[in-house]
Amino acid sequence: MLENDTITEQVTETISNDSTVQAMAETVQMLRETPVNVWLPQLVKDYLVPLGIKILVSIFILIIGRWVIKLVKNRMANGLVRKHADPTLHSFLSNLISVVLNFILIIIIISILGVNTSSLVALLASAGLAIGMALSGTLQNFAGGVIIILFRPFKVGDFISAQGQEGVVKEIQIFNTIILTTDNKVIHIPNGILSTGVMTIFTKEDTRRVDWTFSISYGDDYDKAKTVLLRLCQEDQRILQDPLPFVEIVNLNTSSVDLRVRVWVKSADYWPVFFSMNEKVYKTLPEEGLHFPFPQMDVHIAH
């Protein structure tokens, strides 16, 4: 019991010696002894009015700042368009500049309100470390976006296949790449896996090779079939003649003779030529006395 009394006395003595606590006690005592109509105007003059002015200035700075950020983004976009810059840069730089400028604007407003920004920066650094560990995947996507912009494996307008998805690249953002599929679906793919995964870019080169496998029946004239197929390839102006179209037997199947046809076209003509040739072959081979095979089986009955 004696020890508890001793500790209590020590705490009381410590509190009484603390200058901050003494100042607070003196302020409270003064407010009690002073009439409200005396200290209230002083409080309004010394604290509330300056605080109100700071809040109004902060709101004004916020409005002007948002307008300036929008103006900078528009000027940057117009400048990139005038200089015929790669469209890939437009959305990425726009998002990045927006994030950076908004962060600076927030720091300025906090500083105007009287908050110690050095302490805030230290706090943000500590919080950023913790958030960075929690959002490692998001940071990986940001790094992937930077890699895509720097090394340009693909650009806006390219037709790509990645992560089981195919489509035209519509926009490259900070964290995601947006593609539009052929059936008009919008797909967001994280930049992290795009920058490290396997990807096929169909429009990177000016020309592409189109392959078909057409089958004729056993007993049909192979030389005639080859001549007909080469003629069809030469008649289509979209098919390049350098290198020359290729037609050869690729497989002797159980019920058919399979012919492989290979031609080169401009990348934009790939699908139109592919579908057009299928239609022409389907109509032309029967007219030339050639037959499309079907699965068949010969059954021999022993007596």
Whole-angstrom distance, CA of residue 260 vs CA of residue 61: 70
* Predicted local confidence at residue 109, as pLDDT: 80
Q: Which residue type is seen at 88? A: T
> What SS3 string covers 110-170?
HHHCCCCHHHHHHHHHHHHHHHHHHCHHHHHHHHHHHHHHHHCCCCCCCEEEECCEEEEEE
> Rounded to whole angstroms, how far apart are CA atoms 75 and 87?
15
Q: What percent of the chain has pLDDT over 70?
A: 71
The pLDDT score that the predictor gives to residue 2 is 44
Q: Give the pLDDT confidence of 163-189 residue by residue, as tens digits.
A: 888 999 998 888 889 999 989 999 999
What structural domains and CATH numbers belong to the chain? 40-134 (1.10.287.1260), 140-201 (2.30.30.60), 207-287 (3.30.70.100)
pLDDT of res. 266: 94
pLDDT for 91 equals 67
Least reliable range by pLDDT among 8-22, 25-39, 172-186, 278-292: 8-22
Please check the confidence at residue 118 and state whether its pLDDT lies above 80: no
pLDDT of residue 60: 86
pTM for this prediction: 0.55
Q: Please tell me what DSSP assigns to residue 269.
A: G
Which range, 68-82, 116-130, 152-166, 222-236, is most confident? Answer: 222-236
pLDDT at 63 over 50: yes
Residues in the chain: 303
67: pLDDT strictly greater than 70: yes
Instruction: Give me the pLDDT at residue 11, please.
Output: 42
Using the structure block, give the residue that is written with the tokens 């920066």.
121
Write the burial class of residue 46 (CB in 10 Å: 0-12 exposed, 13-18 middle, 19+ buried).
exposed
pLDDT at 148: 84
Alpha-carbon distance 222 to 40, whole Å?
A: 107
Residue 124 burial by Cβ neighbours in a 10 Å radius (0-12, 13-18, 19+): middle
Q: What's the pLDDT score for residue 222?
A: 93
Q: 295: cis peptide before it, omega within 30°?
A: no
